Amino acid sequence: MSEFKNTDVEQFHGVWVFCEQRGGALMPTDLELISEGRKLADELSCELCGVLLGDKVEGIAKELGGYGADKVLVCESPLLKDYTTDAYAKVICDLVEEKKPEVFLIGATNIGRDLGPRLAARLHTGLTADCTHLDVDVNKYIQFLSESSTLDLSKQKFNMEDRNLKMTRPAFGGHLMATIICPRFRPCMSTVRPGVMKKAEFDQKKADACVIEKPAFSLKPEDIKTEVLEIVKAAKQLVDLTGADYVVSVGRGISKDVKRGIELAEELAAVLGGVVGGSRAVIDAGWLSADHQVGQTGKTVHPKIYVALGISGAIQHKAGMQDSECIIAVNKSDTAPIFEVADYGICGDLFKVTPLLIEAIKAAKAAK
């Protein structure tokens, strides 16, 4: 084992993925990151290695192979059963210093975002937060820019030999994108936004071939300065309209069958993981309570997706939702003003369209 020197860039090899488990089960992010890590490992022609910490978790390690991991490092101890910053950071830092991976990916979950910065600070290297796109190969990166940026690529110069990991992330709520590199130190670390990277097809043969390695590590109870008193799983978090990422609002268009209209909105909101809102007409009619109102006299929302079902789009309604990232409108009348602010419009009966939309979104989410 040679001495760990993080500026000896050439000494670092391999792509690592921190595989988070909660209650002994893998997180969906793990599979997304292993799938993405596979692509990067192929571009770097190196090994992809999962890092799994927990208590009696060896049994779930092989599954990671099915998504592309060549190897999984499994560290088991009762002290690692539940996540603690101190225990996980110590064990992982020791492993990194011993084995020197070039790239280290961590899911940007609440736990990943607790662990990642602590590791990077201790390892004395850079960390890029919440990445939505990763490239090593320059050609692939140029291809990405041509699709996802407004840059004039004819004026950009690229070093085709560049093997740095190019980590792209949104800033300022997605108004700007930045590609970050970490050229001087290794490993090159990134937390990756959950739900962004595409999960590969599971391959049983690869799972069977995956190597499980159980490295030695040292961890003592006194290394851990915090004490987990309890872990509570909440059925559903209460989200208010203003802070919601997804809002499905209904308007006068549901009058034909109010109960069904609201049910559909609730179902769509549940599929998206959001909440239900309403136009003034709906609130005044007493179909929804006042706290649901979106608009001038109601609440101003800026979710990732705003779905307007049967809302004509009076100026006072638009005032409360036009800054949403993506607006989808379903309305019977193709001249409804809501279509002027909508990113995607469907002219049709909401009672027919909404169930189809629910199915389609469910299917699209399942395919991820």
Partner 1 sequence: MKIIVCVKQVPDTSGKVAVNPDGTLNRASMAAIINPDDKNAVEAALTLKEETGAEVVIVSMGPPPAEGMLREILAMGADRAVLVSGREFGGSDTFATSQIIAAAINTIGVDKEDIILCGRQAIDGDTAQVGPQIAEKLGLPQVSYVAEIKKEGDSLICKRMLEDGYMTIKVKTPCLLTCIKELNTPRYMSVPGIVDCYSKPLEIFDFNKLKDDPLIELDTIGLKGSPTNIFKSFTPPQKGAGMMLEGADKETCQKLAGILAGKHII
Partner 2 sequence: MDFTLSNEHKLFRKMYREFAENEVKPLAEEIDETERFPEETVKKMAKLGMMGIYFPKQYGGAGADALAYVMAVEELGKVCGTTAVILSAHTSLCCAPIFENGTEEQKMKYLPDLCSGKKLGAFGLTEPNAGTDASGQQTTAVLEGDNYILNGSKIFITNAGYADVFVIFAMTDKKLGNKGISAFIVERGFKGFSVGKHEKKMGIRGSSTAELVMEDCVVPKENLLGELNGGFKIAMKTLDGGRIGIAAQALGIGEGAVEEAIKYTKERVQFGKRLSQFQNTQFQLADMHTRMQAAQFLVYNAAMKKQNHEPYSMDAAMAKLFAAEAASDVTRRAVQLFGGYGYTREYPVERMMRDAKITEIYEGTSEVQRMVIASALGVK
**Binding residues for partner 1 restricted to 193-232, rule: CB under 8 A:** 193, 195-196, 225-232
C-alpha to C-alpha distance for 130 and 73, rounded to whole angstroms: 24
C-alpha to C-alpha distance for 250 and 321, rounded to whole angstroms: 13
Q: Give the one entry of partner 1, partner 2, none that residue 360 binds, where binding means its C-beta sits below a cut-off of 5 to 8 angstroms depending on kind.
A: partner 1
C-alpha to C-alpha distance for 96 and 225, rounded to whole angstroms: 22
Which is closer to partner 1, CB of 158 or CB of 290? 158
* Closest CB 65 distance from partner 1, rounded Å: 26
Is 105 strand, coil or helix?
Answer: strand
For residue 104, the one-letter residue type is: F
Helix (H) or strand (E) holding 366: helix 350-366
Token pair in block for residue 209: 């071939």
Which is closer to partner 2, CB of 132 or CB of 296? 296
C-alpha to C-alpha distance for 275 and 255, rounded to whole angstroms: 20
| From 188-196, 199-207, 247-255, 313-321, span contacting partner 1 (CB under 8 A) | 188-196
Residue 285 found at the interface with partner 2 (CB under 8 A): no
Indicate which single residue of 42, 47, 267, 302 sits in contact with partner 1 (rule: CB under 8 A).
302
Residue 59 found at the interface with partner 1 (CB under 8 A): no
Ramachandran angles phi, psi of 223, nearest 5° = -70, -20
* CA count, 13 A, side-chain hemisphere, 204: 0
Indicate which single residue of 15, 31, 44, 145 sits in contact with partner 1 (rule: CB under 8 A).
145
Which is closer to partner 2, CB of 90 or CB of 318? 318
Show contacts with partner 2 in window 312-341 (CB under 8 A).
315-316, 318-319
Site string for partner 1, 27-46 (x = CB under 8 A): --------------------
Residue 160 found at the interface with partner 1 (CB under 8 A): no
Residue 110 found at the interface with partner 1 (CB under 8 A): yes
Burial class for 173, CB neighbours closer than 10 Å (0-12, 13-18, 19+): exposed
Report whether 261 contacts 253 (CB < 8 A).
Answer: yes
Q: Which residues bind partner 2 (CB under 8 A)?
A: 280, 296-297, 315-316, 318-319
